[in-house]
Each structure stands twice: as C-alpha cells, then as structure tokens.
Amino acid sequence: MSFSLAFHPRLLDTLRSYDRSRWLADVGAGVTVGIVALPLAMAFAIASGLPPGAGLWTAIIAGFLISALGGTNAQIGGPAGAFIVIVYDIVERYGVANLMIATACAGVLLLLLGFFRLGTLVRFVPVSIVIGFTNGIAVLIALSQVKDWLGLSITHMPGNFFSQLRTLTQHIDSFNPYAFGLGTACVLGLFVWPRLTMKGSPVMQVLEHHTVRHFARLPAPVVALVTLSLLAKVLGFPVETIGSRFGGIPQALPAFALPDFSWETVRLLVTPTVTIALLGAIESLLCARVADQLSTDPQYKKHDPNQELIAQGLANLVVPFFGGMPATGTIARTVTNIRAGATSPIAGIVHALTLALIVLVAASLALHIPLAVLAGILLFVAWNMGEWHEFVRLRRFSNHYRLLMLGTFLLTVVFDLTVAVEVGLFMACALFVRRMSALFRVERQPEPGTDAPATPTPQRPCATWRLHGALFFGAAAKIDPIVQAVETGPPGIDLVLDASELVALDTTGLDALAQILKAVAARGGRLSVIHLHEQPRSLIARSGFGAQLAAQGLPPDGPEIIDPCADAKDRE
C-alpha cells in the first residue's frame, strides 16, 4: 500500500485535444442526461425521507464535481437508488443532521481510499455479494414505493422490512385507485415507450413526421412525468403531490450551512459512515467499469479508480454543507450519457448545469407532480436495478456461490446492507479458505531404487513427499501425516519435501515445516526441501528456516542441491 497526493482529473487529458465536434456531442448528451436526472433525483430524495430539493442539488453539485474531478470520461454522479434504503434508515435512527455528518465523514474515507491507492481493492468484493445486495436493495426500493403507488394514507413508514409489511397491511383500506392508476400507467409507459419509439418499430414506420421523430427522442421518465402530471391536474385527481407534501422546491441556490459537529457524534456514526463509503466506492467503480465496457471509441482511456474515489470523496464531503445526500456513480444515467454520444467529462458538467437551470427557472412546475408517478419511476428503476436472471442461473453454480448470493440477498432485505456485506465478506473469506485448503495435498513418492538391483552398500532410510498447492493456515493440518510417518518410521531417516508444486507458503505453513524438521531431528535424520519457487524460497530464507536446514549439512535448495534420497545413478 502506498500513499500519493497525485491529483490528475480525466478532464485535463480531455481538454488537450478537444474540438468543436466533441463539444456539440457533449452538450447534446449533457442536456439529455440533465432532463433524465430531474425526476430521478427528486424520486430518490423523497424515497429516502428527504425533500426533493435535496436530491436535485445533490445531482447538481455532486454531478459537477464528480465529472470535473473524476477519473472517467463519461460517468454521471448524483443520488442513486442504492442509497435509498441506507439513507432512509440513517434518517430514521439518527436524524437528518447526523446524515449530513455521516456523509461528510464518508467523503473523507473515500478521499483516503483514493490517496492510499486502494481503488483496486473494491474489485476484490465477490460478484455474488454484489448481486445479492443489489437485488436486495431493489426489493426494498420497490417495497418503499408501495405506499405512494397505492395512495395509502400512511403518515410515517418504518425502516424495518417486516414493520413496513405490517404497516402497509394495516392501511390497505385507504387504497386510492387514482394513485394506483397513475403509478401503473407510469410503469407500463416506461416499459413500452422505448419499444414504441425505437428505430424501425411499426409505430415509427407509420409516424415518419419530422416532429414526431424528435418527440420520440425524449427520455421515457420525462414523458411519463409531464403527461401524467398534466392528466392528474386537468382531471383533478385526488392524489398527493410534491406541493401537497413538501410545499414545493425553492427556486434559489441552497445556503451553505455547517452541521453541529462533535467527535462524540462521529463515534456514534461509524457504522453509517462506513456503509455510505463502502457502497459509494463499490457503486462508482462498478459504474466506471460499465462505462469502459460500453465505449466503442478506440482511443478511449480506461478509468482511474483512485482518481474516481478522490472525486467521489470530494463530492460527498461538499454536498452535505448544502443540504444534500450521499452521491455516487449512477449506472442508468451513465449509460444514457454514453448512448447520447458523450465523449468526455464535459457532458457530465453540462448535465449538472442543465439541471441547475431547470431548477432555478421551472421549479414551481414541480408542485403538481403526483407522488404516485414518482413511485412508478422508482418501481421501474428497482426492476432494472435487480439482476433477477441470476436467481434462475443459480443452479449452474456451486453451493458456495449460492450461499453467498442468497445469504447476502436475504440479509439485505431482512436486516440491512451493512450486516449483509459484513457477513457476506466473512462467509466469502471462510469459503475461500475452505476451498484453498481442500486443494492442498501431500503425496508420498515411491521409494527410490525399488526397480534397481540391490546394492551391497548400506544406505540411510529415505522418504520423499511432494507438496501440492498452497501451504497456509487453512491447510497446515494436512502436514500431520508426514510427521506421523517420521515418528513411526525407522530412525536416522533422510526426509525430502519436493516443493516443485508448492505455489505459496505462509508463516503457519512455515511453522508446520518446522514441526517436520523437529520430528526428523528427534529421529536422528535430516530434512531437505527441494525445488522451491520464489515466494516459499524467500520466506524460508528470511525466517531463518533455511539456515536451520543448512545446519544439517543439506542446503534447502539450489543448483547444487543433493537429494539424499536419489540413487547413486541419479546423483551422477
């Protein structure tokens, strides 16, 4: 692990060869993503128990900082669906003020991860755990939207899964068919719109008018938001709106405010802080990898994970002072950005400026947006977020994979993401140790000279054992048969350990070799370890075990090694 204050945003590389054609492409992509981000940012904030303005200004401020300072070409940052469950739970337990402190502290942790160049460690999280908690979060997001989708009269939703189910069941008699109709129409529209307006579809073949083609390019969430809001307003549907619940969105820049900070509070917020930082790092770097895979530009440069973590850290450190919520890389908006033709971080900056312009100019129009429509958008987000096909594919994988994925999924739904990731990583480590220890084995080789004629010269008794795999703390007990064979064998034995297939050795494994040496010495014999690879050889030399072997008169290994169990012909 190394520490580096190197700070080199991808934007600096982009500007060296920037031209007008790229500028036009980035502006078009940025405006498109800015429009798409509008309903999502409000929906994420409301679902997290915060006012819609918190999501909007998080998308603006964090989106600008992540694009301007990050290590990717096309990633869009802002509030993400993965944070809904976590933020709601933190607000429930600790309050909004402490959410701001936890977010800022998580920003500091992300900065340290970037400066210590630990971005690549996020890739060590098993994919089964990532799929498990992603699907679990998707289920919880969908459950949290049932209240507004059905239009239930619930003043306060608990954060616990079973409590939410009980609360929804108790208030099902307040079902609002108008809200349900708007939410269902929104979900169906989001599924159908891209298929109706795709190039070559029967609808587009019939409607070839120039204006219609431009209208078809509008993002589905924006079309659903505008049309269904107008429908509810014109027909006077009795549904709850942003205006009726929150009173609207301020049409002014948010004020800078410092939360009431104390070290005692920070100590209480260690778990929320680590959760926000861990999820933010995983989501942002997974999103960056998706962006790398989607790019078709031959000159595209892969993302810098450490620079990306630094940008994520700065964004999460700054946003809370303006009343924002945690931010990270967002896969849906990033994919939209790439497909819209983005070539550089300029598109992400334009996305933030577009969103800011919309908020400052047209925030009053958001008063009439039904919450059921936003619930429909989030139900669609939850569906796309979950990798449901992985449940079908489980039968193709090992029991280890099934245990990790299903265990993480159930723990995320029933308890919370922190418990799920902690237990999931513990199980992953335990299962990995078990699997690696199962791969290690020892084999006794045939006695030398069994096929050769007997010689009148008496020889010391010899035995050769071959080590296969990695000799580490999880496999050290498998050395016991060698020790038992020495203790029950003839005295004065020359024992040879063939390490030609020993790929790794740790200190516990080294201690097991020392026990063999002790048993051999007690029987008046000698131990030789031959054909060592680089890592085991280095550890044996540094630990002094090599010197103990050499003290017997037999070197541990080398070009002039003499295998005491080789017959005379082989020695020549």
Q: CA-to-CA distance for 143 and 349, rounded, in angstroms?
A: 33
Report how far apart, in Å, the C-alpha atoms of 225 and of each of 166, 360, 373, 508 are: 30, 19, 7, 62
Give the separation between CA 4 and CA 114, rounded to whole angstroms: 9
The full 3-state SS of 511-542, as one line of letters, equals HHHHHHHHHHHHCCCEEEEECCCHHHHHHHHH
Q: Are strands 526-530 and 494-505 parallel, antiparallel or unpaired?
A: parallel
What digits encode the pLDDT tens for the residues 398-434?
888 899 999 999 998 988 777 888 888 889 888 888 8
Long-range contacts from 161-170, C-beta under 8 angstroms, 24+ separation: 161/413, 161/414, 162/414
Q: How far apart are CA 557 and CA 568, in angstroms?
A: 19
* Torsional class of 563: left (φ above 0), alpha (ψ -120 to 50), beta (otherwise): beta
Name 370's bridge partners: 241
Strands lying side by side in the sheet with 462-471:
441-444, 462-471, 494-505, 526-530
Other C-beta atoms within 10 Å of 45: how many?
A: 26
Q: Are 436 and 474 in contact (CB under 8 A)?
A: yes
| Stated length of the chain | 572
Give long-range contacts, CB 8 A cutoff, 24+ apart: 442-447. Answer: 442/466, 442/467, 442/468, 442/478, 442/479, 442/481, 442/482, 443/468, 444/485, 445/498
Rounded to 5°, the CA angle 380-383-389 comes to 155
- Low-confidence stretches of the chain (pLDDT < 50) are 450-458, 556-561, 568-572
Cβ contact 134:408 at 8 Å: no
DSSP state of 476: G
pTM assigned to the model = 0.80
Rounded distance between C-alpha atoms, residue 378 and residue 366, angstroms:
17
Specify the pLDDT at position 248.
76
Compute the distance between CA of residue 539 and CA of residue 17 in angstroms, rounded to an integer. 49
How many angstroms separate the CA atoms of 514 and 540, rounded? 10
Q: What is the pLDDT of residue 82?
A: 84
Closest CA to 283 of 555, 519, 564, 44: 44
pLDDT (0 to 100) of residue 568: 41
In degrees and rounded to multiples of 5, residue 241 shows phi and psi of -120, 175
User: Are the beta carbons of 321 and 40 closer than 8 angstroms?
Assistant: no
Looking at residue 418, its pLDDT comes to: 76
Q: Which residues contact 238 (CB under 8 A, 6 or more apart)?
A: 176, 178
- How far apart (Å, rounded) are the C-alpha atoms in residues 462 and 63? 70
Provide the pLDDT for residue 93.
Answer: 87
Asked if 482 contacts 516 with a C-beta cutoff of 8 angstroms, the reply is yes
Which pLDDT score, from 0 to 100, does residue 199 have?
A: 62
